[in-house]
């Protein structure tokens, strides 16, 4: 069982994502943005960071990386993909997920322990959580405010594709949305950082581990 973690120029939480995958019991495989080959991984994490400095728009330049061409294709075939923070931004820029992430409404970088409610536990990445499970994981970003037009938001809610919602909106996200999924439930984008919450020694909780254990089960089941 292999979880690939992509490193883009400017990725920062790739090491953490690999550690979290390993803690969950998977083999973590580093993937390089310039290499279109996924090296046989069973699932992919696009980690947090400031790829290409977030200079144009967060995730805008990374989406054109050779590895993304393959990921976009395989995601369509059902490969589980989790985009965390900058990874979420890359997924939106790649149009694998609807909407976009813009600057926090307070315009500052924010790092805090954030309460979330898991609203959809039927995705490849959230099956280990109970429905409406409340968890606390690390939130840290500059461009974390999820926006989309009303029709898109209504569709996301109507189809149960809001994966996680903030308990107390930290960044101006529309309808308190912290994470969403595609129709099929294999691609998930999440603003907060579950990979920082797999050990009590270095994180505020171990509430993030479920994302990584969930995908192991999803892969075994498929």
Partner 1 sequence: MARVVVDVMLKPEILDPQGKAVHGAFARLGFDGVADVRQGKRFEITLEGEATEERVAEIRKAADTLLANPVIEDYTLHVEGDR
Partner 2 sequence: MSTDTVSNATSTPDVEQPWAELGLKPDEYQRIRDILDRRPTSCELAMYSVMWSEHCSYKSSKVHLKKFGDIPQETPAGKMLAGIGENAGVIDIGEGYAVTFKVESHNHPSYVEPYQGAATGVGGIVRDILAMGARPVAVMDPLRFGPLDAPDTKRVLPGIVSGVGGYGNSLGLPNIGGEVVFDSTYLGNPLVNALCVGVMKHEDLHLANATGVGNQIILYGAKTGGDGIGGVSVLASETFADGGPTKRPAVQVGDPFMEKLLIECTLELFAARIVEGIQDLGGAGLSCATSELASAGDGGMYVSLDKVPLRDASLAPEEILMSESQERMMAVVTPANVDRFLEICAKWDVQADVIGEVTDTGLLQIDWHGERVVDVPPRTVAHDGPVYERPFERPSWQDDLQADGAEKLPRATTGERLRDTLLKLIASPNLCDKSWVTDQYDRYVLGNSVLAQPEDSGMIRVDETSGLGVAVSTDCNGRFAKLDPYTGAKLALAESYRNVATTGARPAAVTDCLNFGSPEDPGVMWQFSEAIRGLVDGCIELGIPVTGGNVSFYNQTGETPILPTPVVGVLGVIDDVTRRTPIGFTAEMEGHQLYLLGE
The residue ranges that bind partner 2 (CB under 8 A) are: 9-10, 12-13, 15-16, 19, 48-50, 52-55, 108-112, 138, 140, 142, 193, 195-196, 199, 201-203
Provide, rounded to whole angstroms, the least separation between the CB of residue 74 and partner 2. Answer: 25
Q: Binding string, 18-57, against partner 1, x = CB under 8 A? A: ----------------------------------xx-xxx
CA–CA gap between residue 28 and residue 34 (Å, rounded): 18
CA–CA gap between residue 23 and residue 37 (Å, rounded): 25
Q: Is 106 in the site for partner 1 (CB under 8 A)?
A: yes
CA-based nearest residue to 87, from 168, 167, 20, 170: 20
Provide, rounded to whole angstroms, the least separation between the CB of residue 135 and partner 1. Answer: 27
Active site residues: 85, 193, 195
Nearer to partner 2, 10 or 78 (CB): 10
Distances (CA, A) of 143 to 60, 87, 207: 12, 12, 23
Assign residue 147 a region (left: φ > 0; alpha: ψ between -120 and 50; beta: otherwise).
Answer: beta
Say which entry of partner 1, partner 2, none residue 117 contacts (CB below 5 to 8 A, set by partner kind). none
| 74: DSSP letter | H
């Amino acid at each position: 069982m292999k979880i690939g973690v992509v490193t883009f120029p400017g990725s920062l939480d790739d090491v953490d994502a690999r550690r979290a995958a390993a803690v969950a019991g998977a083999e973590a495989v580093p993937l390089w943005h310039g290499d279109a080959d996924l090296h046989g991984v069973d699932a992919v994490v696009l980690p947090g960071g400031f790829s290409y400095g977030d200079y144009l728009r967060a995730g805008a330049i990374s989406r054109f990386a050779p590895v993304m061409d393959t990921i976009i294709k395989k995601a369509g075939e059902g490969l589980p993909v989790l985009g965390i923070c900058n990874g979420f931004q890359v997924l939106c820029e790649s149009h694998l997920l609807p909407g976009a992430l813009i600057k926090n409404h307070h315009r500052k970088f924010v790092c805090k322990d954030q309460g979330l409610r898991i609203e959809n536990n039927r995705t490849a990445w959230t099956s280990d959580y109970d429905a409406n499970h409340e968890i606390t994981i690390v939130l840290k970003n500059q461009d974390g405010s999820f926006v989309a037009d009303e029709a898109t938001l209504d569709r996301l809610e109507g189809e149960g594709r809001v994966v996680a919602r903030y308990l107390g909106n930290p960044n101006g996200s529309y309808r308190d949305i912290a994470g969403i999924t595609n129709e099929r439930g294999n691609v998930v984008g999440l603003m907060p950082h579950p990979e920082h919450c797999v050990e009590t020694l270095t994180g505020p909780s171990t509430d993030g581990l479920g994302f990584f254990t969930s995908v192991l089960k999803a892969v075994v089941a498929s």
